[in-house]
Structure 1
């Protein structure tokens, strides 16, 4: 969609959704460089190259912005790894492939993980933001449940534990590995730990019985 500018040239209109995405990206950049406290609405709009009023056009509050930022972590998926997972392979190998695929995205951008961890801690301390961590966890849990169900279906496996219980284990394992790695930054230790979790999770599966 375009409109005519004062000089007669066509000016492209940017949708509210695109502006939201640009503001979220700008907020993340500000937070990575200067910390969460520095991410005022004015600083975020300046980073995005937008007038200050654009923020309240796209977000009703900073709470909405924080929710959008927390969704960044949930958008890390195992999707790119699926083509490399062979359904007939040993479950430990396949699960290791999926966990390492997630890990590679974390390893590429540790600063984002630091910001997201700080955001969760902030929300836990602020009554008006306290619902955000619960919302993030519920949403993330549903995504992991869907990944597990997809893998079990494609690999013709059944679980020996409830799928949601296993999803909670996966989330706890990934969160723990990320938290530890942010402290020690030893890639080899993180990978060995993930591989250990993959082997453990594989013991909670078995071949699906016929019929």
Structure 2
């Protein structure tokens, strides 16, 4: 049997952890279950990650990286309003298409609140930093206060977080698509009031 490079094996284990956390929650994400999902020996998991917390930190990094990719992919390179709308719509579409990522994110954030270092804070800070950069670029040439840029990022985060919890609760794709339109209307109304 061919030897799998360590970096590839780590990536496999992180992806397996995301799937297991999404299916069984953080408490059900045993190292044995994660190793089985990755089709790897348990010893390999313990070699790659010296603790479960270290593995979960790598999962947080992967989630943050993936969310950043979603933000960048939905940068409309337009004005501020167009870009904000594209980012929110892109985030909601990603959650609809990536239930494992969505479920794992919610599970891990709940878990992280009970940890000493609260690793979810770093994930959110990175997301807001990425969003701010994209929105600032879109606002060039417009008279928009930096505080408004941060508020738009917060609104996008709050609306997409609420959307994903509702989507995971009901798991009704048709209903979620209709609700995504309502969420976009909320953003449009807020933007119209703030950017008028």
- The runs of at least 4 aligned residues of structure 1 exceeding 6 Å deviation read none
Q: What is the rounded CA distance, in whole Å, between the counterparts of 1:45 and 1:194 in structure 2?
A: 40
- 1:87 to 2:72 alignment: no
Q: What is the rounded CA distance, in whole Å, between the counterparts of 1:202 and 1:175 in structure 2?
A: 22
Instruction: Mark the CA change 1:133 to 1:33 in structure 2 (over 3 Å): closer, same or farther.
Output: closer
**TM-score when scaled to structure 1?**
0.75
* Structure with the higher fraction of residues in helix conformation: 2
Q: Quick check: 2:19–2:100 contact (8 Å CA) kept in 1? A: no
Structure exhibiting the larger radius of gyration computed from Cα positions: 1
Deviation at 1:108, TM superposition (A): 1.0
Q: Quick check: 1:59–1:65 contact (8 Å CA) kept in 2? A: yes
Secondary structure in 2 matching 1:39? coil
Deviates more, 1:18-27 or 1:185-194: 185-194
Instruction: Mark the CA change 1:146 to 1:16 in structure 2 (over 3 Å): closer, same or farther.
Output: farther
Q: Quick check: 1:181–1:190 contact (8 Å CA) kept in 2? A: no
Higher relative contact order (CA 8 A, sep 6+): 2
Q: Quick check: 1:31–1:38 contact (8 Å CA) kept in 2? A: yes
**TM-score when scaled to structure 2?**
0.79
Deviation at 1:30, TM superposition (A): 2.1
Q: Could you tell me which of 51, 65, 80 is aligned with 2:55? A: 65
Q: Quick check: 1:23–1:44 contact (8 Å CA) kept in 2? A: yes
Q: What is the rounded CA distance, in whole Å, between the counterparts of 2:4 and 2:53 in structure 1?
A: 23
**Residue deviations 1:25-65 (CA, integer Å, cap 9, x gap):** 11122223333322211221122122212112222321122
- 1:53 to 2:39 alignment: no
- 1:123 to 2:123 alignment: no
Q: Quick check: 1:95–1:202 contact (8 Å CA) kept in 2? A: no
Instruction: Mark the CA change 1:24 to 1:86 in structure 2 (over 3 Å): closer, same or farther.
Output: closer
Q: Quick check: 1:160–1:205 contact (8 Å CA) kept in 2? A: no
- 1:146 to 2:94 alignment: no
Instruction: Mark the CA change 1:87 to 1:113 in structure 2 (over 3 Å): closer, same or farther.
Output: closer
Aligned residues: 188
The CA RMSD measured in Å over matched residues stands at 2.6
| Structure 2 match to 1:183 | 169
Q: Quick check: 2:71–2:131 contact (8 Å CA) kept in 1? A: no
Q: Quick check: 1:23–1:48 contact (8 Å CA) kept in 2? A: yes
Q: Quick check: 2:18–2:59 contact (8 Å CA) kept in 1? A: yes
Unaligned runs of 5+ in 1: 6-10, 207-211
